[in-house]
Structure formats: C-alpha cells, structure tokens
C-alpha cells in the first residue's frame, strides 16, 4: 500500500470515524489502491453481527432501522448503518439519502450512517457494499445494519452479505405475499409485520403463517436459501428457534413473525431478541461458518467477473470500441457471437500458454 493508504488504515483501526468515511468513499469510488486497502481489512473482520433489512417500498424500513440503532445504543453497542439507495442515472450516486428518516441517533458518533448507491446491480447491492461492511467490521462496530432499496425479488443478494435477514411485510399485503413467495420472502430469517397498528395486520400475520406452514417440506427457504425447510412464526406467534427436520434429521431455523410499530418503538425488543436467537443458532449449528464460505466464494466469483470484464473492455477498445463493433454488426459484416469469440481469443491463448508452462514445470520437478 502507499503511505497515505497505510495512514488511512491505521486511522480506521484506531477508531477514527473520518478515516472510516474516507475508506468507504475510496471503496465506493473504486479509487486507485482500494483493493490493497480492502485486503488489509480482512485480518480485522469477523466480529460484527451483520443484519439485513429489506422489504417492499413503504414498509417502513428506514424508521425501523433508526429504532434498532437507538435500542442497540441504549444497550451500549456501537452501530454501523449502510442505506442502499437507488442510483442516479446521471452521476451514479445515491439519490434518496435515507438518513432523513434516521433522526433518533443524530449526533451520536457511535452510530455511523452511510448512504451508498446500488449502481443498478441486480439484488440492489453493489460489490462495494460488501467491502464497506468489512470496513465497519474492522473499525469495531458491534452491529452492522444494511437497509436495501426494497426493489422486490431482486433483493436476494442481501443474503450473501448479511448473517441475519429481516423481511418487512406491511399490513394488508394480501395476494402480494403469494406473488413474492418465490423471491424476497424466501430469504427471511425473521419476518417483520411493521405498522402493526394498522388494519389488516392480523390477517397479514395469518397469511404469512399459512405460507410458512405450507412451505414446510416443499422447498420453501430450504436448499440454497438462508435457512432450512422448517419454518414458523413468533412474538405471540411462536418464538423463532431451532427445529428438527424429520426428513433429514438436521436442525434447521424456524423463522418467527414479529409485529412492530417502528414509529412508536413497539416490538423492537422482541425483534432484537429474535435476531439474537438466530445469531445463537448460527453459531451452535455451524451455519455461520457455512454462510461465510458461501459469501467468500461469491466474492471471489464477483471479483473474477469484474476483472475479466475489465480485461475484455480493454480488448474492445483495441478493436475500435463498442460503437464501431456494433455498427459492423448492424451492417452485416459480423455478428455478436463472432465479436465475442474474437475478443476472447487472446485471453484464451494466454490461459493456454500459462497452463502449458505450468504442466511443463510440474514435469521438470
């Protein structure tokens, strides 16, 4: 690393919020040297609980996150919040600024809030978000909360970044619960019926419970999801706890349903209790380690995709740029498949040479 980056890392690890802010800016902007900086952060991570909050627009995510942070602070824990906003089509920056609805902890230096841009990525989470989580973890935040843009089923990416995922479902969701069943609802470790003082809350809880019960044994939330096939409900609907899956003999997590009224702070203690229960389950079942392996595997794949894309962009520029190549396709001189093959050919040749050299080296030993 360069000397300025070493000083930045030293400042972050010593608990300076200005250094944390500058580090996240460097990460988000993909400034020169950011990769070396993030690499150094890994050795200092793994202590924070990472909680994802997602759900449909208007479900009250920002207000709930504000109350969660306030309650954690009352308990003496430090908090980092990453609010993922939609991207500006002009600047690529975050446009909503969810901090507007996070007023309870204004002025508290132990609550660090950062709005970041989704930058159009599927799932609403940019690669930079995972790196920003590492920065907050290395800084020493006890709890890191990620709030997503709430774009629906594409929010599944949050599973790869968060240890525990809370999905907000507003009262009166009705048929939309079934519509979302194949996507966003399946990633929940805890269901949150926020604005529970409004009409329709009881019906929404009932529909969620029925959906979960029907899903048992049919693949809901199982397999590659965030929890096993057993599911259930909470608060007055049964506390979330490990449950035995009779078909496999394994212990799985039974997602609870918690009713909250975030504007009044109601149900927040129950929600934090369920988050804690899930974190305990992750530790005792070994699921936390499994989640970490999957998360790192996905990070590696993502970095490889980004690097390969960058290499191919360079090849594309050498071929005259995308506009020239697209024009050649339009006029019938070539086709997209032939263009892709031509761009990949030098990369494939290079990989073949490396493989040949490696095999020759192994034979000489």
How is the chain split into domains, by residue range? 45-219+253-284, 303-363
In whole angstroms, what is the distance from residue 177 CA to residue 207 CA?
8
Q: Which 3 state secondary structure label does DSSP give 164?
A: strand
Asked whether the predicted pLDDT for residue 346 surpasses 90, the reply is no
Asked whether the predicted pLDDT for residue 246 surpasses 50, the reply is yes
Asked whether the predicted pLDDT for residue 124 surpasses 50, the reply is no
- The whole-number pLDDT of residue 102 equals 60
Q: Which 3 state secondary structure label does DSSP give 144?
A: strand
Vertex 33: Cα angle to 31 and 35 (nearest 5): 95
- The whole-number pLDDT of residue 220 equals 47
For residues 282 and 163, is the Cβ–Cβ distance under 8 A?
A: yes
For residues 155 and 47, is the Cβ–Cβ distance under 8 A?
A: no
Domain spanning 45-219+253-284: CATH 3.20.20.120: no
pLDDT tens-digit series, residues 294-313 = 888 988 888 888 888 888 88
Asked whether the predicted pLDDT for residue 357 surpasses 70, the reply is yes
For range 139-164, the mean pLDDT: 79
In whole angstroms, what is the distance from residue 285 CA to residue 251 CA?
7
Angle at which helices 268-285 and 61-74 cross, to 10°: 80
pLDDT tens-digit series, residues 17-53 = 999 999 999 998 889 999 999 999 999 998 999 999 9
Cβ neighbours for 101, distance < 8 A, ≥ 6 positions apart: 62, 63, 66
Q: Is the pTM of this model over 0.85?
A: no
Q: Which of 124-128, 254-258, 287-291 shows the lowest mean pLDDT across its residues?
A: 124-128
Strands 251-254 and 164-168: unpaired
Asked whether the predicted pLDDT for residue 152 surpasses 80, the reply is no
Vertex 113: Cα angle to 112 and 115 (nearest 5): 150
Alpha helices, H only, the chain: 3-13, 17-28, 34-41, 61-74, 127-139, 158-161, 176-180, 201-215, 268-285, 287-318, 322-330, 336-364
CA end-to-end span of the chain: 35
Asked whether the predicted pLDDT for residue 227 surpasses 70, the reply is no
pLDDT tens-digit series, residues 68-85 = 999 999 999 999 999 887
- The whole-number pLDDT of residue 81 equals 95
């Amino acid at each position: 690393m360069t000397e300025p980056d070493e000083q930045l890392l030293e400042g972050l690890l010593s608990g300076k919020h200005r250094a944390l802010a500058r580090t996240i800016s460097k990460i988000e902007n993909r400034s020169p040297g950011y990769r070396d900086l993030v690499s150094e952060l890994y050795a200092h991570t793994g202590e924070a609980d990472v909680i994802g909050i997602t759900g449909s627009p208007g479900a009250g995510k920002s207000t709930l996150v504000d109350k969660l942070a306030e309650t954690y602070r009352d308990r003496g824990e430090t908090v980092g919040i990453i609010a993922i906003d939609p991207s500006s089509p002009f600047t690529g920056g975050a446009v909503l600024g969810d901090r507007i609805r996070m007023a309870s902890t204004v002025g508290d230096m132990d609550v660090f809030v950062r709005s970041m841009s989704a930058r159009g990525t599927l799932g609403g989470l940019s690669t930079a978000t995972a790196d920003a989580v590492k920065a907050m973890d290395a800084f020493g935040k006890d709890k890191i909360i990620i709030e997503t843009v709430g774009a629906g089923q594409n929010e599944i990416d949050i599973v790869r970044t968060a240890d525990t995922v809370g999905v907000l479902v507003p009262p009166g969701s009705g048929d939309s619960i079934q519509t979302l069943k194949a996507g966003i609802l399946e990633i929940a470790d805890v269901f949150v019926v926020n604005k529970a003082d409004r009409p329709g809350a009881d019906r929404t809880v009932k529909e969620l419970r029925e959906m979960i019960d029907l899903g048992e044994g049919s693949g809901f939330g199982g397999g590659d999801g965030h929890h096993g096939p057993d599911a259930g409900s909470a608060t007055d609907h049964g506390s979330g706890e490990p449950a035995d899956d009779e078909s496999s003999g394994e212990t799985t997590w039974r997602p609870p349903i918690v009713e909250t009224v975030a504007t009044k702070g109601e149900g927040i203690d129950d929600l934090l209790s369920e988050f804690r229960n899930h974190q305990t389950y992750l530790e005792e079942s070994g699921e936390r380690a499994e989640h970490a392996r999957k998360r790192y595997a996905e990070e590696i794949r993502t970095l490889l995709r980004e690097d390969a894309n960058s290499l191919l962009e360079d090849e594309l520029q050498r071929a005259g740029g995308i506009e020239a190549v697209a024009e050649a396709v339009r006029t019938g001189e070539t086709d997209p498949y032939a263009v892709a093959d031509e761009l990949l050919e030098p990369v494939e040749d290079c990989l073949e040479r490396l493989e040949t050299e490696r095999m020759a080296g192994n034979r000489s030993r």
